[in-house]
Structure 1
Amino acid sequence: MNTQPAPEQPTQRLFEIEATPFGDSALMLKAASGTAEERQAGSRRLRELVFELQPHGLLDVVAGVDSVLVEFDCLAVSHGQLAQTIRLAAAGSAAAGGAPGRSPEFFEIPVVVSEAFSPDLPGVADELGISQEAVLGILETTELSINLLASAMAPMMGTLPFPGQVSRCREPRTNVDPGSLMVAGTSAIIQPFPGPSGWKVIGRTPLTVCDIREDPATSYIPGDRVRFRVIPESDWDALEGRFLRASTSRETTDGNR
């Protein structure tokens, strides 16, 4: 007779949620503990959970870097009732092992750095007290996580290990070209379409990161990983307009693979 104990089955740790009233008809949700990256991942899980749950009275869900703002009809449900509903759903999801979802994908994004495409690079380097080459070195050697999709599906990524925080422009630009790579604080973002921005522009990718003709319009989602690669301006024409897709490996990338 086999007397060996049965192997212990792995269990998913209970997801502890911090729920804070935000005005009369909104609830701010956060992961109650963990590292910055774990809290960011928790925010993504919370957003997916609320969308799947569609609790009574739900009006809108606004994702932040490490939080989720849930707006609701205060005549239909209270802060406490909504928080309890979401906590119970999170506990049930953990007990069931959670939804599998797709595994994070990896994107290597080519970036051209030039006087025209990188108007704020000198100022960013001066502000951080390092050389322009050092700024680009940090950019190229850091694998970033897409924390959230901002306005117009812009991928917002962090965290860049700069020796300090990058300030925003004193006067926001009224029009930033699509594909512009911008930084602020220790985060990076890519401008999908022409539009205003107060972030500082340090490069530009020839690839199209969001295309409404594609289904889906972006190939990335929060949780995916990104690394930037500075390329010569002479490579621009060969890549311009190609839709950004996940890399087939971490050694090679092609804008249309």
Structure 2
Amino acid sequence: MNLQPAPEQPTQRLLDIEATPFGDSGLMLRVAASTAEERQAGSRLIRELVFDLQPHGLLDVVAGVDSVLVEFDCLAVSHGQLAQTIRLAAAGGARVAGGLGAAGGPAAAGGPEKTAAELFEIPVVVSEAFSPDLPGVADELGISQEAVLGILESTELSINLLASAMAPMMGSLPFPGQVSRCREPRTNVDPGSVMVAGTSAIIQPFPGPSGWKVIGRTPLTVCDIKEDPATSYAPGDRVRFRVVPESEWEALEGQFLRPAAANSRGTTDGNR
């Protein structure tokens, strides 16, 4: 007779969604959770839930770092009705096993299994031209430039959301303080620029304006409209930055960003 105790089953708990009116036709949704990573993972699940549900009156969904703004037709549905619809849908299908995981987001019980989070290793070149704000960031935080880069390299970051132009926005860097934005935003930031603000990091996919502070640049192409899909990353994926010498730029320039697992299998064209 087998006297071994049965394996402990993960506890199931409902997704606890907080809903706050945002003007006449908006609803701000958040997950009530104790940690930033749980709230960020919960916001990804809420976004997917609303997209799948397509509730009556829905006009738009705007994802934030740890919240989701749902815009709706206030003549078709009220704040309370929409909140109740989303909560009922969550209660019916979005039970979370063992809490909200940070990597890959939470899995909905009874639904298809989530694809595991990918890990991306992104080379970064640091130079006077590629890192114009690094000295100022170090001064603001009261640490050395080497320490700023050390924190960047040693922290595995989670992609919280895809911002404008599919830019991967990541958090959180354990800086000793918050990094302010530029007083005057740049009108044209080069693609591949690795930037920080607050305790978050982001990569500029295409040339364009930004008020984030530039501390390096990757030679890889993070978004390419010729690829299908145009990006290989998604919210919930993980990122590790690696500072490389400028001498490696030419060999890596223009290669499409792929997951680390794909690179380890070997390809015929670097990251391609």
Find the counterpart in structure 2 of residue 147 from structure 1: 160
Q: Distance in 2 between matches of 1:151 and 1:229?
A: 24
Partner of residue 227 from structure 1, selected from 240, 260, 265: 240
Q: TM-score, normalised by structure 1?
A: 0.94
What's the CA shift for 1:251?
8.5
- Deviation at residue 13 of structure 1 after TM alignment: 1.7
Taking the TM superposition and a 5 Å limit, the aligned residue runs for 1:151-162 are: 151-162=164-175
Distance 1:214 1:20 in 2: 39
Q: Which runs of 5+ in 1 are unaligned?
A: none
Between the aligned partners of 2:177 and 2:266, the Cα distance in structure 1 is 31
**Following the alignment from structure 1 to structure 2, what is the Cα–Cα distance between the partners of residues 133 and 29?**
39
Q: Deviations over 1:130-189 (max 9, x none)?
A: 110010000000000001110000000010011111111111000000000000010000
Counterpart of 1:256?
271
Secondary structure of the structure 2 residue equivalent to 1:152: helix
Q: Which residue of 2 aligns with 1:187?
A: 200
Corresponding residue for residue 52 of structure 1: 52
Give the 3 Å change call, closer, same or farther, for CA 46–153 of structure 1 in structure 2: same
TM alignment of 1:105-120, pairs within 5 A: 105-120=118-133
Distance 1:132 1:6, change over 3 A: closer
Matches within 5 A, 1:95-134: 95=95, 96-134=109-147
Large movers: runs of 4+ above 6 Å = 1-8, 249-254
- Hey, what does 2:210 align to over in structure 1? 197
Deviation at 1:34, TM superposition (A): 2.5
Assess if the C-alpha contact under 8 Å between 2:132 and 2:215 holds in 1. yes
Q: Is the Cα–Cα contact under 8 Å of residues 263 and 271 in structure 2 kept in the other structure?
A: no
Residue equivalent to 1:237: 250
**Cα distance in structure 1, aligned partners of 2:140 and 2:10:** 47
Contact 1:11 1:97 in 2 (8 A): no
Structure 1, residues 4-39: CA drift from partner, whole Å, max 9, x if none?
997665453210000001011110000012311000
**What's the CA shift string for 1:178-202, capped at 9, x where partnerless?**
0000000100000000000000000
Structure 1 position 3, deviation (Å): 10
Quick one: distance in 2 between partners of 1:132 and 1:196?
24
Note the C-alpha offset of 1:42: 0.2
The verdict on how the C-alpha distance between 1:36 and 1:121 changes in structure 2, with shifts beyond 3 A counting, is same
8 Å Cα contact 1:207/1:240 also seen in 2: yes
- More divergent stretch after superposition (247-256 vs 207-216): 247-256
What is the Cα-based RMSD across aligned positions, in Å? 2.2
The alignment covers a number of residue pairs equal to 257
Give 1:213 deviation, angstroms.
0.9
Q: What residue identity is the alignment partner of 1:54? A: Q
Distance 1:44 1:245, change over 3 A: same
Q: Which residue of 2 aligns with 1:15?
A: 15
Q: Which residue of 2 aligns with 1:165?
A: 178
- In the aligned structure 2, how far is the partner of 1:111 from the partner of 1:6? 48
Q: Which runs of 5+ in 2 are unaligned?
A: 96-108
Displacement, 1:94? 3.0
Tell me by how many angstroms 1:248 deviates. Answer: 1.4
Q: How high is the sequence identity, in percent, across the aligned residues?
A: 85
Q: CA 1:73/1:133 → structure 2, altered by over 3 Å: closer, same or farther?
A: same
Moved more, 53-62 or 94-103: 94-103
